[in-house]
């Protein structure tokens, strides 16, 4: 009976501990202060250091448990921030996959704010350097590109009327540039997708900048018009996007009221090019090596006189 009674007493003592939820962290208090002991499989947060002294942490590659809690991640992040500050890092970027979005809430308690979001992840940022934050804002512009396909043999240009616009005005075919896509490639692609006409890039003609654009979620919009030369002439336009598509006389496009102001102005510019040569209006393309090894950039400018070329 004494043994049974003793066992029952021990069970009563252990019962509160058995009911307590298992924690991913346990803390002891040695002389140097409290030190976290991580649960098995949960290591310290690490990240890639950039040339500006910032750290980027990819949570999808950090080896975190799929069911990690906000409190556990908060402890991990707090320890990492102490370490990075001691190492002299100036900023921390957290790339949080949507499956670990609860970690964003935990990060916010340490001062992180949203920087931007993509399809399957969000990026949070925190300045931990001295003085005011010097972190750059996210990209704030969208790039729209149109192609003015000019048939120099007869002075006609390829134009479309959008199906889903309130005003069916003649305009040059075009659309948004894809990430990593060159301007000229966008113009050629969009012209073919909308009209079925194949073309090649010749030059950049103009650039329009507009802020608070309703079609860009209130951000800024850059609209670039390129001059293209036709490789084919038969029209097979996309009926989902376009109401009409025609080869129209530039003289008619320049004076008609059934167009947009920018299209009419560019029509007059193209007429000037036909009459006096496109060298006076073209911004040609030259590809040059960038300062980053193995990379190139596209530079658009007026032709350089032969006497000034090195």
User: For residues 285 and 16, what is the distance between their CA atoms, to the nearest angstrom?
Assistant: 75
Tokens of 117: 């979001």
Q: Contact, 159 vs 248, CB < 8 A?
A: yes
Tokens of 260: 């947009």
- Of 231, 233, 227, the residue nearest 247 (C-alpha): 233
DSSP code string of 22-65: P-SEEEE--TT--EEEEPTT------EE-TTSEEEEEGGGTT--
DSSP code string of 145-211: EEEEEEETTTTEEEEEEETT-SS--BB--EEEPPTT--HHHHHHHHHHHHH---EEEEEEEEEEEES
Active site residue: 87, 190, 193, 194, which one?
Answer: 193
Active site residue 193: yes
- Long-range Cβ pairs for the range 247-256 (8 Å, 24+): 247/151, 247/156, 247/157, 247/158, 247/159, 248/156, 248/157, 248/158, 248/159, 248/170, 249/155, 249/156, 250/150, 250/155, 250/156, 250/157, 250/274, 251/155, 253/157, 253/159, 253/170, 256/170
Q: Contact, 227 vs 142, CB < 8 A?
A: no
Give the residue numbers marked as catalytic: 193
């Amino acid at each position: 009976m004494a043994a049974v009674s003793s066992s029952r007493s021990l069970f009563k003592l252990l019962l509160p501990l058995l009911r307590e939820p298992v924690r991913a962290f346990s803390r002891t208090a040695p002389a140097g202060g409290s030190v976290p002991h991580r649960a098995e499989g949960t290591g310290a947060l690490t990240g890639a250091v950039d040339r500006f002294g910032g750290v980027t942490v990819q949570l999808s590659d950090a080896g975190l448990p799929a069911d990690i809690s906000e409190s556990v991640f908060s402890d991990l992040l707090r320890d990492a921030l102490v370490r990075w500050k001691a190492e002299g890092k100036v900023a921390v970027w957290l790339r949080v996959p949507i499956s670990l979005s609860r970690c964003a809430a935990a990060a916010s308690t340490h001062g992180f704010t949203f920087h931007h979001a993509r399809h399957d992840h969000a990026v949070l940022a925190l300045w931990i350097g001295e003085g005011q934050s010097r972190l750059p804002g996210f990209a704030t512009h969208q790039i729209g590109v149109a192609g003015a396909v000019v048939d120099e043999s007869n002075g006609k240009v390829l134009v479309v009327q959008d199906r889903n616009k309130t005003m069916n005005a003649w305009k040059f075919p075009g659309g948004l540039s894809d990430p990593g896509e060159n301007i000229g490639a966008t113009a050629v692609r969009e012209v073919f997708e909308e009209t079925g006409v194949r073309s090649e890039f010749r030059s950049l003609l103009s650039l329009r900048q507009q802020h608070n654009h309703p079609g860009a979620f209130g951000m800024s919009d850059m609209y670039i018009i390129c001059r293209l030369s036709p490789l084919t002439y038969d029209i097979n336009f996309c009926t989902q996007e376009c109401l009409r598509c025609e080869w129209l006389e530039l003289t008619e496009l320049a004076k008609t009221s059934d167009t947009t102001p920018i299209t009419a102005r560019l029509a007059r510019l193209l007429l000037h090019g036909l009459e006096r040569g496109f060298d006076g209006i073209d911004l040609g393309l030259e590809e040059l090596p960038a300062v980053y090894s193995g990379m190139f950039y596209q530079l658009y400018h007026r032709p350089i006189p032969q006497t000034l070329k090195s």
